[in-house]
Amino acid sequence: MRQTVHFGAGNIGRGFIGALFSESGYHVTFVDVAEQVINKLNEEKGYQVKLAQSQEETISIGNVSGINNMTHEDDVIEAIQQATYLTTAIGPNILPRIAPLIARGLAKRVAATDDKLYVIACENQIGATDILKQHILDNLDEETKNQLEGKVYFFNSAVDRIVPIQDQSSLDVLVEPYYEWVVETAEDIPQVTGMKMVADLAPFIERKLFTVNTGHAVIAYLGYLAGKSTIDETLADEEIVTQVRETLKETGAYLMKEYGLDEEEHLAYINKNIERFKNAYLNDGVTRVGRAPIRKLGPEDRLIRPATQAQKAGLPYTHLAKAIAAALLFDHPEDEEAMKIQEMIRETGPEGVLKTISGLSEDSDITKEVVRQYKTFQG
């Protein structure tokens, strides 16, 4: 049986990527620091993926096991020796932390075999696999780096499936029925059910990140400010739906200009995603979707990049500016990054945050518009 190693046995790991490998006939070894999850995977050897829809539908996932990378590094290195794929869904900020162990696994592997290994980071970040690759290379000597050539391949990817926070007492995962996994490769690679291969990922990941993730973030931050707890509850407010749609028209204008997307098709894509967000069976919290606002306000992420790109292209960005202002007001006490932003605002004002986190100068038109809207929110 073919083997795959997947870092991150969380929502996307169990509910999406690991499940697709299992369905494709692979044994999936999950690597995670969550001891309870690892123990359950080894005891139960399977779990259920439940679709969030009116008609009950459940998919049984088998052939899975787990390794704790904090306590069993050698077992992870051994699993990497046997694998055809190595994937991650761990959060972009964690990639540098797992790279040294992956590097050790790869060094041992390329010294012993020419068998090909395909590495794919499945994270919400442009070029996540390139970033992981660089961290891995930083942990290898020159000779080993040369040995990777023709043996270890790195492919960027875009992952799209809404998987909310789960009941932690079980391995089962509730997921939305829709999913899309796009992988950039020109290689003839072993088939995995549900993996779509493309020669150029840029239009796919930007369309996804600046529609699905921008839209979701706008709902989360406006919902939080309006005192809502879930995404579907927030979308019962027609004013917020309008704000989401107008924001996605702004990102859409940039995407259409940059990638020559068809206007009618793109508007249908926006509408389809707004309907996805309304799925009440997901019961998805605004604080989950708004989590990690420092990452989400990064220069290349879902709010800032479309705004800077729109500005460069002479396109409107006022609704994006409003969403950025709302993100700056996300003060959820349990979110470390949100708390850090609030501290920075107290010290340097919203302008300081936009400069340090988003790379926007204090006198930029985007900063001025965001600050104006920030003050309007404050009343």
Ligand X SMILES: NC(=O)C1=CN([C@@H]2O[C@H](COP(=O)(O)OP(=O)(O)OC[C@H]3O[C@@H](n4cnc5c(N)ncnc54)[C@H](O)[C@@H]3O)[C@@H](O)[C@H]2O)C=CC1
Answer yes or no whether residue 213 interacts with ligand F6P by CB under 6 A.
yes
Is 220 annotated in a binding site? The answer is: no
Q: Which stretch binds ligand F6P (CB under 6 A): 208-216, 267-275, 320-328, 367-375?
A: 208-216
Answer yes or no whether residue 216 interacts with ligand F6P by CB under 6 A.
yes
Nearest CA to 156 among 101, 208, 199? 199
Of 107 and 289, which CB lies nearer to ligand F6P in the complex structure?
289
Alpha helix stretches (DSSP H) within 179-262: 202-208, 214-225, 231-234, 238-259
Q: How far is the CB of 362 from ligand X (least distance, A)?
A: 30
Q: How far is the CB of 111 from ligand X (least distance, A)?
A: 25
Contact pattern for ligand F6P over residues 119 through 138, marking x by CB under 6 A: -----x--------------
Tokens for 214, please give them. Answer: 């921008």
Answer yes or no whether residue 95 interacts with ligand F6P by CB under 6 A.
no
Residue 238 makes CB contacts below 8 A (sequence gap 6+) with none
Answer yes or no whether residue 162 interacts with ligand F6P by CB under 6 A.
yes
Burial classification of residue 249, based on how many CB atoms lie within 10 Å of its CB (0-12 exposed, 13-18 middle, 19 or more buried): middle
| Residue 66 φ then ψ, to 5° | -140, 155
| Residue 117 φ then ψ, to 5° | -125, 135
Distance CA 304, CA 321 (A): 9
Answer yes or no whether residue 173 interacts with ligand F6P by CB under 6 A.
no
Q: How far is the CB of 332 from ligand X (least distance, A)?
A: 16
Interface ranges with ligand X (CB under 6 A):
7-13, 31-34, 69, 89-92, 94, 97-98, 123-124, 159, 161-163
Contact pattern for ligand F6P over residues 232 through 261, marking x by CB under 6 A: ------------------------------
Q: How far is CA 118 from the centre of its chain?
A: 19
Is 4 annotated in a binding site? The answer is: yes
Q: Which does 9 bind (CB under 5 to 8 A by kind): ligand X, ligand F6P, none?
A: ligand X
Query: Contacts with ligand F6P in 288-317 (CB under 6 A)?
Result: 289, 291
Nearest CA to 208 among 232, 244, 181, 231? 181
Of 109 and 332, which CB lies nearer to ligand F6P in the complex structure?
332
Q: Cα–Cα–Cα angle for 178, 338, 161, nearest 5°? A: 5
Distance CA 76, CA 85 (A): 13
Is 155 annotated in a binding site? The answer is: no
Buried b (16+ CB within 10 A) or exposed e, 355-373: bebbebeeebebbebbbeb
Q: How far is the CB of 100 from ligand X (least distance, A)?
A: 11
Neighbours of 59 (CB within 10 A): 15
Answer yes or no whether residue 69 interacts with ligand F6P by CB under 6 A.
no
Q: Which does 95 bind (CB under 5 to 8 A by kind): ligand F6P, ligand X, none?
A: none
Answer yes or no whether residue 212 interacts with ligand F6P by CB under 6 A.
yes
Q: How far is the CB of 35 from ligand X (least distance, A)?
A: 10
Residue 11 makes CB contacts below 8 A (sequence gap 6+) with 89, 163, 164, 165, 166, 173, 175
As annotated, the binding site for NAD(+) includes: 4-15
As annotated, the binding site includes: 4-15
Interface residue list for ligand F6P (CB under 6 A): 124, 160, 162, 212-213, 216, 289, 291
